[in-house]
Structure 1
């Protein structure tokens, strides 16, 4: 029997609008993907994000083409059809992996090659922009919930204020909690240098994307000053080889939706480890299917540091129940066969 691909569009409102370099985001729009082969079913998610992936319309066209090719030429050719549309490829490949791992009666992370049993993966708390007092309060709340890594959004306020926010965050967190910061490319080289000098005093471990994505040499120049440099947007613009040849990063953030799927993110993570660069997995404010896939990916990567997987709270609605529990600063990895998601599709 030939597998069949179905998909439907969704729109999920955010709890609060999110301001990005590419505009204001008030909802996440994408496609829930379903692959059926006899009595076996696999789910995927294709949720484009402006500035990171193809457009919603291009994603839909890609899924339509994959559906047509799948019916005549099979799964591999269907995936090839969406190679240049990363969100669509993510949706198709995740559905294939879910179906196959469910058929094998194994959790997805084991299908991806993970250890026999991974119960938990560490996650970071994301601390939104706010006043120094609001930042300290948010960090205190996160630590009380068991998080031992907090990532602060910086770059919206003056550098001096962000340094004060980090100071207050450290006071609230105590000496043992890891602090990171993410500037989303907001700073000039001079601003980044000032921020790093101040952040180093309070033990910030990683500063993500302090400069615009194009500034590879600038990021290289910021390394070795007491705070590790992480690249996020820079990965898509330059690729691993260019980043590592320039010596521009201590860590690289992997977003499966923006890279084209769990398989590609996993390949890059292994490559980074060989190059002695730390991989970190995060979502792109995805719905439950893609978020759960990212948790399985994290479970399949040995010794992964705390990653940005606790993002479901950013959505006011979701596609279905979340099978991932978050407790004591960790994501509890689903052990059901496949992804472990259910209650998603109404015919």
Structure 2
């Protein structure tokens, strides 16, 4: 296993509930499987994944495995199913490290078979994936201006951050955006777990008249029953941070969501994310794929996952602009509100080979 560590500054610092993020640090992994190179990315985000130190330790342990441990790839949706415990055990509590290993294996498999990652996962993947624009917290006037700019740039789906100020302020902002962009634009709101149950109920009642596609993470991550109780009140409920606090299966079993926001880096790999998306669909829950502000290799892999999901909703993949600079030219840039899926082989052919 070859590795290269990297650090990428954000274009602007990002404030989150877990603190301020100024850069993204991670590890690129190169693996040879059946003599074919594959490249994967681990970019940990504490609170969602293991720490960078724990990621390094997990990759150290996997590096110590005997040669040939990665040669057998069975089901692309579960590429580590036949791997020895010496590989899988260190990755059990290290989803970012697992993402790198699984991604590299799938990249190698796609190149060996002459197929894109999306075509490994699904028989008839989409050639383009719709994406949403994200509008941060700002005044109503500033939010409207940002919404109009996004629509002019080709986005037909907007996600507005809410929950920073009072509920009345957020309702005013969303009403102003809806009035400005009209009924044809899909509108979402993301509270990042900011509200208590009473405020969330008031929010759903107020927003039900705005044709909101869904309200993302209105309650704290561990409140499954509270989210379940919000469903069926006129606005669909989406879970994001909850999937870092509990399993996808537990969220589905609790009936807590109409939509699940799936982050491959946090879930442990492209194949595992695709399996989760299909499990959600079986439970009549819609999957939406997004990233944790990753570099180009992981973002591109996430595009393939989204393309493999039939009729996927607009996904949160327009995140490359959050970085001051990237590791490589983006093989899947956002244009007019959508992304063309690289047609392979693997994640992006040899686009990332020189990185590791």
Question: TM-score, normalization: structure 2?
Answer: 0.92
Distance between the aligned counterparts of 2:271 and 2:120, measured in 1? Answer: 11
**1:238-261, CA deviations, whole angstroms, 9 ceiling, x for partnerless residues?**
323432333211111111100100
1:154/1:8 Cα in 2 relative to 1: closer, same or farther (>3 Å)?
A: same
Question: Given that residues 11 and 27 in structure 1 are in contact (C-alpha distance below 8 angstroms), is that contact kept between their aligned partners in structure 2?
Answer: yes
Specify the alignment match of 1:83 in structure 2: 92
Q: Secondary structure in 2 aligned to 1:9?
A: strand
The answer to whether the aligner puts 1:54 opposite 2:66 as a matched pair is no
Preserved CA contact (<8 Å) 1:58 1:85: yes
Q: Which residue of 2 aligns with 1:127?
A: 135
> Are 1:17 and 2:26 an aligned pair?
no
For residues 37 and 235 of structure 2, the distance between their equivalents in structure 1, rounded to whole angstroms, comes to: 46
Q: What's the counterpart of residue 68 of structure 1?
A: 64
Counterpart in 1 of 2:329?
321
Superposed counterparts of 1:56-205, under 5 Å: 56-71=52-67, 73-74=69-70, 76-77=83-84, 78-115=87-124, 118-205=126-213
CA distance in 2, matches of 1:255, 1:64: 24
CA contact (8 A) 1:79 1:93 kept: no
Q: 1:219 maps to which residue?
A: 227
Gaps (5+ residues) in structure 1? none
Who is 1:32 aligned against? 28
Larger mean CA deviation between 234-243 and 131-140 belongs to 234-243
Q: What TM-score comes out, normalization by structure 1 length? A: 0.94
Conserved? CA contact 2:117–2:347, under 8 Å: yes
Q: Whole-Å Cα distance in 2 between the matches of residues 9 and 99 of structure 1?
A: 20
Contact kept? 1:6, 1:33, Cα under 8 Å: yes
What secondary structure is seen at the aligned counterpart in 1 of 2:354? Answer: coil
Cα offset, 1:324, TM superposition:
0.5
CA contact (8 A) 2:70 2:105 kept: no
* Range with bigger deviation, 75-84 or 122-131: 75-84
What is the aligned length?
342
Return 5+ residue gaps in structure 2 as ranges.
72-82
RMSD: 1.7
1:308 alignment partner in structure 2: 316
